Amino acid sequence: MASTSRGTVLITGASSGIGAATARHLLQRGWTVIAAARRLEAMQELQRLGATVLPLDISDAESRRALVEAVEQQHPQLDGLVNNAGFGAVGPLETMSLEQARALFEVNVFGLMGLTQLLLPSMRRRGRGRIVNLSSIAGRYVTPGSGWYGASKFALEGLSDALRLELRPLGIQVVLVEPGLIQTEFADRVAPSRAAAGQSQEYGRMMERVNATWTAIFRGASDPSVVARTIETALTATNPQDRYLSGHLSGTVLARNLMPTPLWDWMLGRSMTG
């Protein structure tokens, strides 16, 4: 896919945040955009701008199949897939229920891969395509309280590496985008799990410090349009990188790679665990 080309792209989780910003940006850049999410009413603006709007519950197998059938009927020449739909919850590993942890993986890992599996046959037949998976800096390192969420993103990183190797000979490229702190609904969506974790007798004080740190650093969060532009690069670069960092504090991934673990642990412990 040449850097100047335009094509048809499916974006999941397009009702808000990074997904909505990416859909708007690509529409303005001349792409044919299919926007998919659970909340159809929240995508009316995208529809007015020219996007095809379709329902998707990424964790539901039947919903995934219905989406793929609609895409193949309406837009059989799919050039790109932006796997943006995601789910967040925070809390100590000991106290977060396995049911909640499974819910994270159902959306962030199994649902994402289930949709990708259904779309790959048509890409293979055409011998071309670009898959952009939205990970996170939490897919490269975790902080206290983000263990299960980070684990789901670590899993996505590994799956994306394998997909990149498996699909490259077939003409399909796989790219990871790793946002830092972005102005989305994420903070609001994890608020209930943060509040519940704060009630823990064993970890309540730690979660107070975690929440205070998150509140402080999120003040500098980047606009979702920053990530939207990075996603466009991931979709259009002739020879894309395997990973693109994007947004506020995404550079901490590089610092983590260079810093000895004892020093890193001391830094996080000083601000988050006491």
pLDDT at 1: 43
Residue 70 is which amino acid?
A: A
How many whole angstroms separate alpha carbon 29 and alpha carbon 187? 29
Q: Looking at the domain assignment, is residue 1 inside a domain?
A: no
How many whole angstroms separate alpha carbon 69 and alpha carbon 79? 16
The reply to whether 141 belongs to the active site is no
Range of the domain at 91: 8-273
pLDDT at 84: 98
Q: What is the CATH number of the domain that holds 265?
A: 3.40.50.720
Going residue by residue through the chain, which has 274 residues, state the pLDDT in tens, using 9 for 90 and above: 444 448 999 999 999 999 999 999 999 999 999 999 999 999 999 999 999 999 999 999 999 999 999 999 999 999 999 999 999 999 999 999 999 999 999 999 999 999 999 999 999 999 999 999 999 999 999 999 999 999 999 999 999 999 999 999 999 999 999 999 999 887 777 777 777 777 888 999 999 999 899 889 999 999 999 999 999 999 999 999 999 999 999 999 999 999 999 999 999 999 999 7
Q: Looking at the domain assignment, is residue 105 inside a domain?
A: yes
Residue 85 is which amino acid?
A: A
Q: Looking at the domain assignment, is residue 2 inside a domain?
A: no
Q: Looking at the domain assignment, is residue 235 inside a domain?
A: yes
Q: Looking at the domain assignment, is residue 3 inside a domain?
A: no
Of 124, 119, 132, 130, which is closest to residue 170 (Cα–Cα)? 124
pLDDT at 123: 97
Q: Is 233 exposed, middle or buried (0-12, 13-18, 19+ CB in 10 A)?
A: middle
Of 176, 80, 58, which is closest to residue 128 (Cα–Cα)? 80
Three-state secondary structure call for residue 11: strand
pTM metric for this prediction: 0.94
Radius of gyration of the chain (CA): 19
How many whole angstroms separate alpha carbon 215 and alpha carbon 217? 6
Instruction: Calculate the alpha carbon distances from 127 to 77, 160, 174, 235 in Å.
Output: 11, 19, 14, 16
- Say which of 141, 149, 203, 244 is annotated catalytic: 149
For the chain, give the number of residues: 274
Helix or strand (DSSP H, E) at 44 = helix 44-48
When divided into structural domains, the chain yields a total of 1
- Please enumerate in sequence order all residues whose Cβ is within 8 A of that of 155, keeping only pairs 6 or more positions apart, or say none: 105, 108, 109
Three-state secondary structure call for residue 37: strand
Report residue 195 as tokens. 């509040």
Q: Is 46 exposed, middle or buried (0-12, 13-18, 19+ CB in 10 A)?
A: buried
Instruction: Calculate the alpha carbon distances from 131 to 50, 73, 81, 177, 262 in Å.
Output: 22, 20, 5, 11, 36
Helix or strand (DSSP H, E) at 157 = helix 147-167
Of 109, 104, 84, which is closest to residue 16 (Cα–Cα)? 84
Beta strands at 80-83 and 243-246: parallel, antiparallel or unpaired: unpaired
